[in-house]
Amino acid sequence: MPEASNYMRIVKVIIEEAVSLLVGFAVAVIILLFSGYEPLSVISILFSEGFRNTEVLMKQSIPVIATGLAFSIPALAGLFNIGGESQLYIGAFTGLVSTYIIYNATGQPVLSSVTGLVSGTLAGGFWGFIIGYLRARRSVNEVVVAIMMNWTTYYLVLYLIVSRFTDPIYSHMSVFVPASSRIPDVLGFIMIAGVAVLTYIVLRYSSLGYSIRVAGLNPKAAVYAGFNLEKIFITAMSISGAIAGLGGALFVLSVIYSIDTTMSAIYGLGFLGIGIGLLGRNNPIGVVLAGLFISGLQFGGQWVELRTGAPPYLTDVVIGIIVIALSATYTYELLVSKLRRG
SS3 260: strand
Tens digits of per-residue pLDDT, 149-199?
999 999 999 999 999 999 999 989 999 999 999 999 999 999 999 999 999
pLDDT band at residue 2, thresholds of 50, 70 and 90? low
273 CB burial (10 A radius; 0-12, 13-18, 19+): buried
Within its chain, how far is the Cα of 38 from the centroid? 32
Closest CA to 81 of 123, 144, 139: 144
Q: Which sequence spans correspond to the domains of the chain?
A: 19-341
32 vs 211, residue with greater confidence? 211
The pTM assigned to this predicted structure is 0.93
CA distance linking residue 332 with residue 330, whole number of Å: 5
SS3 65: helix
Check residue 218 and give its pLDDT.
Answer: 87
Q: What's the whole-number mean pLDDT along residues 30-55?
A: 89
What CATH architecture applies to the domain 19-341? Answer: Orthogonal Bundle (1.10)
CA distance linking residue 102 with residue 108, whole number of Å: 8
Tens digits of per-residue pLDDT, 79-122?
999 999 999 999 999 999 999 999 999 999 999 999 999 999 99
Check residue 99 and give its pLDDT.
Answer: 98
